[in-house]
Amino acid sequence: MKIFITLLSCLVVLPVFAQSNSCQQQPTAISIIQGNSSTSSLVDQTVWVKGVVTADFRGKKRLGGYFIQSVEPDQDPLSSEGLFIHENNLQLPIEIGDLVALQGQVAEQFGVTQVSQAQKTQVCSSGRPLPKPLALSLPLNDFDLETVEGMYVTLAEPYVITDVYPYIQYGELVVSSQLLMNPTSIHRPGKVAERLKQANQQDQLIIDDGSLKKFPQPIGFGSDNRLSLSADNPIQLGQTLHTSGVMHYAFGKYKLQATTDMKLGVNLESSQAKPQVTGGQLKIASFNVENFFTTLDNGQKICGPLKNFGCRGADNKAEFERQLAKLVQVINTADASVVGLQELENNAQHSIQTLVNALNQAAGNNKWAYVDTGILGEDAIKVALIYQADKLKPQGDFALLNSAADPEFVENKNRIIVTQTFSDYQGNNFNVATVHFKSKSCRDAVGIYLDQKDGQGCFNPTRVAVAKQLAKWLETDPTGQQAKATFVVGDFNSYQQEDPIVSLKSAGFYNLADKYLQPENWTTSYRGTVGSLDYILVNKAAQKLTTGLTQWHINSVAIDQLGYNTEPLSEQLAKPINFYQPDPYASSDHDVVIAGFEF
């Protein structure tokens, strides 16, 4: 009886596939099924279809089917020659290059034209060459990817990776013809900036891994396209990528589902392990350290001078040590004579003293000192100044731009600004102000402080007001040392062509990036575009002293999960140990800006 059942089951499963006459049936052309609109006119109709298998994404948490393409395409460029077959039976013996015929029902599912309820599938021949892939050029310039849905395609040339954020979670990278600038980095807010925003949208294509699973396993390849991604084998913004695959529509977007290995280019020259040379006997830098807190974040409101803020930064001792190691590596490698810092925990000395102690321990001597400002206002974070004591010494007391210095300065909307006069050991004086303007976040924004949809985000009037107050205050020589040269460094939370930076320029403070870099320069990346929020601004006297400027792209290009955090990637997936290295990369969400100068 057992033998009879086994034989009967074989007769049921295998001969149906082997003895089908599907190859002799008259198929409906794939281009007819696809049509030349977003939905098929044959929905719910049963059809015979025939084509070459170009990609196979059957399996759990994959796309749930395979793709076929016409052997004899028509001449209509508006109708696709590729088709998704919704068939997840892994026992079906089909391979890439098989010519298959089958019967099924035309359907539209989540915007994808497909054939479902496939049956009577038969391999008519094997080992056929794949159709020549259609070359996709970027920018798309309104090319409708619907016309190549399901087709075998390739990138016309290696394109630039412009978004790495979704790679670990979704297996996706975004490529463009070039790095895409945030519109208000290049143009003043308005119609021209809006046109660039629209152009950027036409210059993005998602490269996907054919998986529907969050945090797919194994983790995708790194730059060597052989071993999994790691801190030693990362993928970075700005690298070029080339691949081929099939065009698919999922979660509201067209995605190239890669079927060939990704060929990746080298990292950007500006993102190497050491910053580019700026010249000058002295160097000044700005670095937002992204919430360096010595008080660990336990989820309670125990931070800030009034203990009314939640803590930020490291959640445990291990994270704290990892964060500190990266920051030390960045600052000591940059080796600036003076550094303006942003986003340190706003306590009396502990955060800044801890950082300086670690810097000196790594340097092997008392290389670094800091300006002791104590607590600044009531915010959870503050700015700070550190300097190399064998190169510079403070002259006189520091000065603060706060409500006491200017009654119009709103302390609960702005972080207090610190200015200190320094002198080199030849007696040359100069001023350094470190700033951190109000963020673009819309929390608590009302009225004119709301996003005006001009690209400048929320609280733009607040940033403009403090920019004007800063320029006016600096004109009064707040430290009283009569130094002519003034450097203003920090995170201005404003792109290059936005109102606050334009206001400061009109007041006589010039962005050194305009002098030493191309207009396409940046210190942050966000949703596929890059732009500068961090600057070294100078008055005329300081500008005459400068020798160069660089933006060290160690963070804007990096995958965030390669940073110091130890949290699992998901509930089921621990973060791999090799995701962390005590190197400069993924040390913050802002790059370091460094300028050289000499008297």
d(CA 93, CA 505): 68
Instruction: Give residue 60's pLDDT band: very low, low, confident or very high (50, 70, 90).
Output: confident
pLDDT in tens, 203-250: 999 999 999 889 988 889 999 988 999 999 999 999 999 999 999 999
Same-domain status, 491 and 555: yes
Same-domain status, 289 and 263: no
3-state SS track over 216-279: CCCCCECCCCCCECECCECCCCCCEEECEEEEEEECCEEEEEECCCCEECCCCHHHCCCCCCCC
Most distant CA pair in the chain: distance in Å? 104
With b for 16 or more beta-carbon neighbours within 10 A and e for fewer, the 320-332 pattern comes to: bebbbbbbbbbbb
Res. 18: pLDDT tops 80: no
Final residue of a structural domain among 125, 142, 159: 125
Same-domain status, 279 and 428: yes
Q: Considering its fold, how many domains does the chain have in total?
A: 3
Instruction: Give residue 382's pLDDT band: very low, low, confident or very high (50, 70, 90).
Output: very high
d(CA 126, CA 124): 7
Res. 571: pLDDT tops 80: yes
Q: Which of 485, 500, 379, 380 is nearest to 437 (CA)?
A: 500
Domain ranges, residue 163:
134-267
Same-domain status, 367 and 513: yes
With b for 16 or more beta-carbon neighbours within 10 A and e for fewer, the 448-473 pattern comes to: ebeeeebbbbbbbbbbbbbbbbbbeb
Determine contact, residues 63/120, Cβ cutoff 8 Å: no
Final residue of a structural domain among 214, 240, 267: 267
The percent of residues above 90 in pLDDT, for the chain, comes to: 93
Which has more confidence, 330 or 1? 330
Final residue of a structural domain among 267, 293, 318: 267
Same-domain status, 241 and 316: no
Average pLDDT over residues 412-440: 97
Determine contact, residues 513/467, Cβ cutoff 8 Å: no
pLDDT in tens, 286-343: 999 999 999 999 999 999 999 999 999 999 999 999 999 999 999 999 999 999 999 9
* pLDDT at position 218: 86
- Count of helix runs (H) and strand runs (E) in the chain: 11, 28
Same-domain status, 383 and 339: yes
Instruction: Give residue 11's pLDDT band: very low, low, confident or very high (50, 70, 90).
Output: very low
Res. 13: pLDDT tops 80: no
Chain centre to alpha carbon of residue 357: 32
Same-domain status, 337 and 443: yes
pLDDT in tens, 536-558: 999 999 999 999 999 999 999 99
The mean pLDDT value of the chain amounts to 94
Same-domain status, 291 and 260: no
DSSP secondary-structure letter at 333?
H
* pLDDT at position 20: 67
The Cα angle at residue 166 between residues 95 and 222, in degrees rounded to 5: 65
Same-domain status, 213 and 337: no
d(CA 542, CA 485): 4
The Cα angle at residue 190 between residues 189 and 195, in degrees rounded to 5: 105
Average pLDDT over residues 410-425: 96
Distances (CA, A) of 275 to 65, 160, 333, 522: 48, 22, 8, 14
Res. 414: pLDDT tops 80: yes
Q: Which of 296, 295, 288 is nearest to 327 (CA)?
A: 288
Same-domain status, 284 and 366: yes
d(CA 161, CA 147): 24
* pLDDT at position 545: 98
pTM for the model: 0.93
Residue at token pair 């985000």: 457
CATH at residue 564: 3.60.10.10
CATH at residue 149: 2.40.50
Q: What does residue 350 show for φ and ψ, rounded to 5 degrees? A: -60, -45
DSSP secondary-structure letter at 164?
-
Q: Which of 228, 218, 375, 394 is nearest to 304 (CA)?
A: 375
Determine contact, residues 116/109, Cβ cutoff 8 Å: yes
Same-domain status, 565 and 425: yes
- The alpha helices in 59-174, defined as continuous H runs, are 167-170
Same-domain status, 356 and 491: yes
Q: Which of 413, 424, 426, 534 is nearest to 464 (CA)?
A: 413
Angle, in degrees to the nearest 10, between helices 350-363 and 317-334: 60
Res. 509: pLDDT tops 80: yes
